Structure 1
Amino acid sequence: MNNKADQFAQIIKTQAKSLGFDFCGIAKAEFLEEEAPKLEAWLNKNYQGKMSYMANHFDKRLDPTKLVDGAKTVISLIYNYFPEKRLPEDSDDFKIAKYAYGQDYHYVIKEKLKILLENLKSEIGDFGGRAFVDSAPVMERQWAQRSGLGWLGKNSLLLNRQMGSFFFLAELIIDLEVTSDPPMVKDYCGTCTRCLDACPTDAIVQPGLVDGSRCISYFTIELKEEIPQEVKGKFENWVFGCDICQDVCPWNRFSQAHKEPKFDPHPELRDFNQKDWNEITEETFNKVFSKSAIKRTKFGGLLRNLRFIQQ
């Protein structure tokens, strides 16, 4: 690699850190050859369930040059969302995934990526590129692993030795040649099977392979119809998303509280108990979750989830 590419890598990492990203890794933009048969097999088994969008843009998922013309580099970024305090404190109350406590991460992080791109262009000069936050066919965990940020755990999530897995992943795909980081080739899960053992719906069918259509997050967020009776009594009070496989992961003992005020819960949400959830009106839903990812399930979807758990 040339000195310029090394210099670009340093600038990118410094700028990412200044915007609050915890880690930044760089990989060469190329076709994900190893992932193609895995993705095809996963789709053929219908592990995407009703998430039909997962079968779209197969070629784009595997080839970043189809997303950004002349792409040469994929920059992967980690942004912490681990809360200072988990909600609710009483484990018998209804639970929502930690990533949804505060404002919708799509907007919070997209804004940061926009600033990052602008800052890089003002320091490096003009170049082409796009920012991605879980909103386009990008295999973000695989790119993060390729850029040395972590390995794919048995629950298929990216695990980082310094901070576990309670973080968001985001990418910049750019047409600039930048020095890559070495990929993470070691798997630090060892013989641990805590995530497999803890999943109440047996969504983790084998180490590293998740049947998305059996995941509590899928049932409570993605599925738009009635939840199948076969998973009745298995939700452990999760009304939006699920953190079980992360909560039991030993690597998450290294999680530290985030420093992003926008990810702090809405004041009213802090004290929500079962009574509040059961008496929630559409007006309260719109007020408390107006900027939250929980909007995705819509008011009717939330009522369906509450009904299903309690029937």
Structure 2
Amino acid sequence: MDDKLIYAAPLQGYTDVAWRLAHAGIYGGVDAYFTPFIRVEKGSVRQRDLNNAIQNMPSGIPVIPQIIFGSRDEFIILADTLIDAGATHINLNLGCPFPPQVKHGRGAGALRAALIEEIASIIITRYSFAVFSAKLRLGINSSDEWRPILNILNTIPLDHITLHPRIAAQQYVGECNSEIFDEFLASTSHRVVYNGDIRSVSDIARIGSVHNISVDVMVGRGLLSRPSLALEYRSNEEWCHDKRVSVLRRFHEEIYSTYMTVLCGDQQILQKIKPMWDWLEDEIGHKAWKAIHKATTLRKYESAVADALS
């Protein structure tokens, strides 16, 4: 296999500290983990969000915090807070398609030339010592909305740009726009990372052949539905179903044990652990997947998981 980088995407409600630590320890194969976005709430950053974003991995694999903002003031609060807490690399969320965020000018809603010009100036003059990267979509409702923004992004010394070649209105359905990805790739001075619909080892390999260049990749839902994906690619070995389920059992035990230690009460623990299974229906089957999500007590949950992974 080639030496392309593989990043774990930031996914709100899924890739928290417990998931990242367990994934790095049991699977690995990932070059950096990006945290779910943090935002300004009531003029500051919540301490628990900051704790989740500033977390060292025992393996030394980088953890890169992502921020979402809709104004220069929000950006400065977030950047100052993270840098004061020790962050050296910050990822800009310019692609979140979640309507409440977009409506408030954040995520994909931040793809506004005036705002990006302000952010570019602030990064260059105020944070020249720090590393920034960006993750974006093509636009909100049009696949051309990135065009007036790119020249501005090209003025910022970004480590890379991750592009998910869909518009926000598509959410996660419909085809990724391969042609526009190629056009974006040819138009930017930055290293470009591909994100979108990477579900298998062959998908990772395909990115380079489709775009005629060894493009680094960021994997989101693909790692949730197949946590071994990056490791399989690195080792040039596609795992059989039995092996995937066997290691998945250990993965779940690690995350579940963490939640049992830091959380209290059946409902609080179930609320945190059940999302782990959201994208694993194909792996364990619909009946087992449904039983896990229907469980109302830890005892019922543990029984359902045991059946699913037997």
What's the TM-score, normalizing by structure 1? 0.26
What's the TM-score, normalizing by structure 2? 0.26
Question: Higher relative contact order at CA 8 Å, sep ≥6: structure 1 or structure 2?
Answer: 1
